[in-house]
Amino acid sequence: MTHDADLALLLKSCEPIAIALSGGTDSSVLLAYARRHGIRTIAISVDTGLTPPGELEAARVLSERLGISHIVIPLDALDIPAVRENRPDRCYACKRAMMEAVVREAERRGCRAVVDGTHADDRSAARPGMRALAELGIRSPFAECDIGKKDIEALAADLGVPVRPPSACLATRIPAGDAVTRECLALVAAAEALIAKEIPGTIRVRCIGEGARASIEADLAYHDRLEELLDAVRNLGFEDAVIASGGYREGGADAWKR
């Protein structure tokens, strides 16, 4: 039996299901897959104020295209002390609050299970949010069926789901221990949106102290525009902006303090 058949059987055994839809590739592919296989499904997203621009809109557009009911739950992440204070348990506390909201809404709508887009490759990474998933009984069909990122990208092509660049919570742009503020989040979102209009690839603007550090993967053909873009970032309200040597690196803003 193929992993694909396993996945269909797993989803069928759980229906009706609620898919925690972030707008990223993994949960979007899961939603499209469930729709193709006739699984009774709704999609639930959470608007925390920490989602990069475009993610929720992508979730809305896909749900509408597939004809699946899409619910968006407002949840101000800065109301969560661990997030606001940027404590080490920030990711866990935020994920727990988000998924509790999703579970409540799913139960209210008569769903038997909540599922998410966590996949097999995620199991080898340090992801504090996975603890919250386990505590709340959230199912991760891709992981359970040993389906990894490359498999999901192949499914995306088959299902006509765009593969989006990796994204991450905006709070990861701020070093642990530095307070997360609406002002800083707004500056980061605006700067990344500005740069993304000109340069392809993964873009991160790290808010280090009062300045900004832009971590960019880009084609060298765009190199002659970088100084112009940095000036535009500074004009948004940052004290300074520089190109980080080595380009994009995983680990959030803390990587730049190591």
pLDDT tens digits, 99-113: 999 999 999 999 999
139 bridge partner residues: 115
- Sign of the Cα torsion 29, 91, 81, 212 reads negative
Chain centre to alpha carbon of residue 130: 14
> Could you tell me if 154 and 174 lie in one domain?
no
73, 75, 112: which is closest to 93 by C-alpha?
Answer: 75
> Could you tell me if 120 and 188 lie in one domain?
no
The count of structural domains within the chain is 2
Alpha carbons 11 and 107: distance in angstroms, whole number: 17
pLDDT of residue 1: 35
Residue 59 belongs to domain with CATH number: 3.40.50.620
pLDDT of residue 249: 56
Residue 58 located in a structural domain:
yes
Residue 59 pLDDT greater than 80, yes or no = yes
- Sign of the Cα torsion 74, 169, 242, 215 reads negative
**Domain final residue pick, 115, 137, 159:** 159
Alpha carbons 52 and 164: distance in angstroms, whole number: 12
Residue 221 pLDDT greater than 60, yes or no = no
Residue 248 pLDDT greater than 80, yes or no = no
Longest dimension (CA), the chain: 58
**Domain final residue pick, 159, 189, 213:** 159
pLDDT of residue 2: 55
> Could you tell me if 97 and 176 lie in one domain?
no
Residue 39 located in a structural domain:
yes
Which run of H or E residues covers position 20? strand 17-20
> Could you tell me if 175 and 152 lie in one domain?
no
pLDDT of residue 258: 44
**Domain final residue pick, 105, 131, 159:** 159
| Sequence letter at residue 234 | R
Residue 79 pLDDT greater than 80, yes or no = yes
Residue 165 located in a structural domain:
no
Q: Which residues constitute the domain of residue 18?
A: 3-159
> Could you tell me if 32 and 109 lie in one domain?
yes
> Could you tell me if 191 and 250 lie in one domain?
yes
pLDDT tens digits, 2-55: 578 899 999 999 999 999 999 999 999 999 999 999 999 999 999 999 988 789
**pLDDT (average), residues 77-85:** 96
160, 237, 177, 162: which is closest to 205 by C-alpha?
Answer: 237
Highest mean pLDDT among 30-44, 185-199, 227-241: 30-44
> Could you tell me if 25 and 137 lie in one domain?
yes
- In the chain, % of residues over pLDDT 90: 60
